[in-house]
A and B are shown apart, each in its own frame.
Chain A
Amino acid sequence: MVQIDLSKVAITEANERIRASAADGQDVEILNPDARHNIGVGLVVDNPVTIRIKGSAGYFCGGLTDGARFEIDHNAGWAVGDNIYKGSVVVGGNAGAIPGVAIRGAEIVVRGNMGSRAGQVMKAGTLACGGNAAFMAGYMMYGGRIIILGDAADKVGQDMSAGEIFVGGKIASLGNDTMIVDMDERERDEIMEFLERYQLKHDGGFTKVVNAGTKLRYAKAEPRHRPQPFFVSSKSSNYWNAKVQEDIWIKGEVGRYRIRGYGASKPVPHLNDIAFVKDISTVAPDPEELKDINLKTTIGGRFGAKPLSLSMPVMIAPMSFGALSRKVKIALARASRLSGISENTGEGGMLDEQRAEADQLIFQCLSGRLGWNVKDMQRADAIEIYISQGAKPGLGGQLMAKKVTPELAAIRGIPVGIDLRSPSRHPDVLGADDLVIKLQEFREATFHKVPIGIKMGAGRVNDDIKIAYKDGFDFVELDGLQGSTGAASTEVLENVGIPTLAAVQEAIDGLAEIDAKDDMDLVMMGGLKDGVDIVKMLALGADCTSVGTAAIIAGGCIACMQCHVGTCPVGIATQDPEHEARYDLDRQAMNMHRYFESLRWQIAAITKALGYDDVHKVGRGDLVALTPEAADITGLPYRPEHRHTERPLTGLELLDRKAG
């Protein structure tokens, strides 16, 4: 047995020693824990070892681990046992809020009382409490069981989708969409066996609470309708148009807000409202001349983690396996490798084939912790905490029942066939202060080796970007109003958030206001379509960009906006094998790759036309605004006369130029 004294050793070093001891099969005793955070985080073992904490532990004790046994002599802080697959945590005293959050099979035992929202978004396993549970036990749980021997406070099982809650004492009140049912003898025997194993005493009388099933699905599914391509529906000159008509028809049918795919289609100030000062049409299209233009971009080196190394300032935007089919995620991963850029898992967890195809893969952590786990974290090249996205700031993801197949449900740890509405908030991040500790947990779980970023929809960017900087993120992915999604309500898609152009400006201004060093990388996204947009974004102050919609269109999307229905005619936004069979992975991966190479050529050509040998040298001085709105948003000089550089030259103008 190895002893580690936390009054003498910092937590990062202590966790390293725990891993080393566990690898030797040695148990570990932690002395003087004094409620410090993140004890044992990141420990993954094949043969169980015991980590004994001689006192109280702070937040996330035993979190993001697999296979180990944790025994805490006294109390535990927030989120004890966060996200454990296999393994156990026993808390001798009381546990703070959200014990057993997002567990996928672990056994968490709290001998004393436990704090609010116990077992939030848990998927499988057992959370048992010898004392009383504070309010909202089982909040948004997707599976597994919670056993409470004492009393349970208000709203037991609030918004649970599945799983069971057994309460031995009194229940103050039930949460919405729950009901009390009889328990059978087999269940009781299993519970008593569990309690005996952990020396918890109980007479066997329980009230069983389960989901009542009235809100798991929308009453009416989204109808299929004649495809109304995004590019038709987003025509800007009409107030009443085909899109509005379609929206009204669909609402008339379903009697609620409409859900659709894609992003805002209303006209807002965007990158085509700004132009380059120089006439970029003069550049020679000869690729040989562009070879020496530097496009290399590194992202996330702020605190010494190994940064992402991109061949150009482009990433693939986060899109989930779930919203998209398996084949498309693999094609995206392959295209990212061929073009030397990064792929992103989005919400749905990591696929083995995706990991194998992508050289650089960002693993995204969302509020529902769907598909989230320590093993995939440790094989990712970067981690990204999702707070919100441009298509639907402030809301969680939506995945309609048609797409929640048995395979997908298994990866995400949720019941099959529900209309999945992910939580809008992280269970353990209710403010910038909690986020600091969460970020530290992720650094411990990935040994401080990979960059950790934050994905934000553009709302109050000026405030949010400062929080991201102060909390210590390596990079920010900032997504404007025009960002797309697989499913969201049209009201939110069209009306919530601020345009990408305003977002980048607020971000740059916000960072300048706090004298932030230029060390947190800013990745901008939300409606970027080509290399022209990308260079403009870099000139405005971004370090890198991210493309989602454009990549998908390159890969065969016809933009019919019915991603949510689940029967995508080209096999992209579907989980139906018949539809997915239509997708030609090899061919579409090459189409996406060639599209990315066209971005590379454009970025290099424009950089050269502007007179630079490095794309990161472009700046605001290279830009002018073409409209008063764009000038107001960006502070760029209003020069409408530059509009001519935005259109192809006429034959006469070309002749003029040759003569000149």
Chain B
Amino acid sequence: MCGIAGVLFKRQGEHEIGKTLIEMLDGCQHRGPDSTGFALYGDTKELLQLRFIVPMQDPARQEAIDNIAALLKRHNATIEKEESVGCSYHIEVRFAGDLLAFTRDIEEHAKLVSVGHTLDIIKDDGTAHELDELYHVGDFKGTHGIGHVRLATESAVRPEAAHPFWATGFEDIAIVHNGQITNYWKMRRRLERRGYSFHTDNDSELVAVYLADKLSQGETLDHVLETAIEDLDGTFSFLVSTKDEIGYAKDNLAAKPMVLYETDDMIAIASEEVSLNRLFPGQSINSTEPAPGTHQTWSRSI
């Protein structure tokens, strides 16, 4: 149960993605006080960016970091830069092999939460402003991003159960979700038979893996969202982001709220208008509420 937000600036450049998402998530923090998360898209980096969740205290923290180093070595990946902050360990890696096999193996042995050349996922227990203090999310510049505030209902309050979820095996793809997938176990077993593994019991992870699986078959994001509405049962509004796009899908029952606002320069989507209005204080905006069972994608100019 939660609130979601997403923003995409249509023109290339150094936009205040971090600050924008902090504002939007702060606006709907009442929907989810337990944890907050951001998927941020900036410049395409030469090196592969990985972020892990690690224990807060030594020696467990150092053990986890050593373990990650050993794992990378096994795949001939070299760490060029590292940073250990909050509950996370962020590294830049030189790697040239098969990403899918690489990340599947790493995911078996470490809590990998973000993979990509442009994407960074930052998530932790706490509010948007608390995360900003620790991780300096507000300094992030880029073109688009999605975010999430979470009230844990069925799975525990742990950073790794927070959103966004990375679409396992596929770089630069993230999702945030508000709602409940009611055919979770059926869909999960189907995906497990196709070789995917799950690291939480969170139904939002299922959405991420489902999308990743479809995208790996070469389908467009737009088409994947269309099939998601048919295949996933329940009440949901979710946002997905890739290197160049963001999109939404809304269930057939329209039971979870979502509003969007588009200008020539940007598209902003949120659970509640109060988040959109944070970007335009004192103004009325012509927001629209997507119809049930619909989806849409937007891409930035390349």
> With an 8 A cutoff between CB atoms, is A37 at the interface?
yes
Interface string of B267-302 (1 = CB under 8 A from A): 000011110111001111111110110000000000
For residue A431, CB closer than 8 A to chain B, the reply is yes
Our pick among A55, A96, A437 for the contact of B284 (Cβ within 8 Å) is: A55
Q: How far is the CB of A515 from chain B (nearest CB, A)?
A: 10
Residues on A with beta carbons closer than 8 Å to the beta carbon of B30:
436-437, 440
Asked whether, in the complex, the Cβ of A433 is within 8 Å of the Cβ of B3, the reply is yes
CA distance A135 to B283 in the complex (A): 29
On whether the beta carbons of B287 and A470 are closer than 8 Å, the reply is no
Looking at B110-118, B206-214, B252-260, the stretch in contact with chain A turns out to be B252-260
* A433 pairs with B289, CB closer than 8 A: no
Q: Are A35 and B32 in contact (CB under 8 A)?
A: no
Given known A432-B1, A433-B32, contact A96–B289 (CB-CB < 8 A): yes
Q: Which of A19-27, A71-79, A579-587 contacts B (4 or more CB under 8 A)?
A: A71-79
Number of interface residues of B (CB under 8 A): 40
How far is B152's CA from A94's CA once the two chains are assembled, in angstroms?
31
Contacts of B1 in A (CB 8 A): 431-433, 467
The answer to whether A153 has its CB under 8 Å from any CB of chain B is: yes
Proximity string of chain A (92-110) to chain B, C-beta cutoff 8 Å, 1 when within and 0 when not: 0110110000000000000
**In whole Å, how far is A96's beta carbon from the nearest beta carbon of chain B?**
6
**A430 contact set on B, CB distance < 8 A:** 235, 255-256
Contacting pair A78 B254 (CB below 8 A): no
CB distance from A11 to the nearest CB of B (A): 11
Q: In chain A, residues 100-129, which have Cβ atoms closer than 8 Å to a Cβ of chain B?
A: 113, 115-117
Question: Contact flags (1/0) for A416-459 with B, using CB distance below 8 Å?
Answer: 00000000000000111110110010000000000000000000
CB-based contact B286/A93 at 8 Å: yes
A74 to B235, CA, bound (A): 28
Contacts of B282 in A (CB 8 A): 7, 31-32, 34, 55
Closest to B291 in A: A134
Q: Do B287 and A94 touch across chains, with their CB atoms under 8 A apart?
A: yes
A55 touches B235 (CB 8 A): no
A59 at the B interface (CB under 8 A): yes
Are B254 and A94 in touch, CB under 8 angstroms? no
Whether A56 and B292, one on each chain, are in contact in the complex, defined by CB atoms closer than 8 angstroms, is no
Q: How far is the CB of B7 from chain A (nearest CB, A)?
A: 16
Q: A96-B257, A96-B259, A430-B256 are in contact. Are A34 and B2 (CB under 8 A)?
A: no
Q: A34-B278, A433-B178 are in contact. Are A73 and B284 (CB under 8 A)?
A: yes
Q: Chain B's nearest CB lies how many Å from the CB of A140?
A: 14
Cβ of A463 within 8 Å of any chain B Cβ, yes or no, is: yes
Nearest to B33 among chain A residues (CB) is A470
* Partner of A135 from B259, B287, B292 at Cβ < 8 Å: B292
Residues from chain B with Cβ under 8 Å of A302 in the complex: none
* A32 to B278 CA separation, bound complex (whole angstroms): 11
With A56-B284, A432-B1, A433-B31 known as contacts, the answer to whether A35 contacts B151 (CB < 8 A) is no
**Chain A residues in the interface with B (C-beta under 8 A):** 7, 31-32, 34-37, 55-56, 58-59, 73-75, 77-78, 93-94, 96-97, 113, 115-117, 134-135, 153, 430-434, 436-437, 440, 463, 466-467, 470-471, 514
A-B contact list, 30 entries, CB within 8 Å: A34-B274, A36-B274, A37-B274, A55-B282, A55-B283, A56-B273, A58-B272, A58-B273, A58-B274, A78-B257, A93-B284, A96-B259, A96-B289, A97-B257, A97-B289, A134-B291, A135-B291, A135-B292, A430-B255, A432-B1, A433-B1, A433-B2, A433-B31, A433-B178, A433-B271, A436-B151, A463-B153, A467-B1, A470-B34, A514-B157
The 9 closest A-B pairs by CB, nearest first: A74-B284, A35-B273, A432-B1, A433-B31, A34-B277, A35-B274, A35-B277, A433-B1, A116-B254
Known: A37-B274, A56-B273, A430-B256. 11 other contacts (CB 8 A): A7-B282, A32-B282, A35-B274, A78-B257, A94-B287, A94-B288, A115-B289, A117-B254, A431-B178, A433-B151, A436-B30
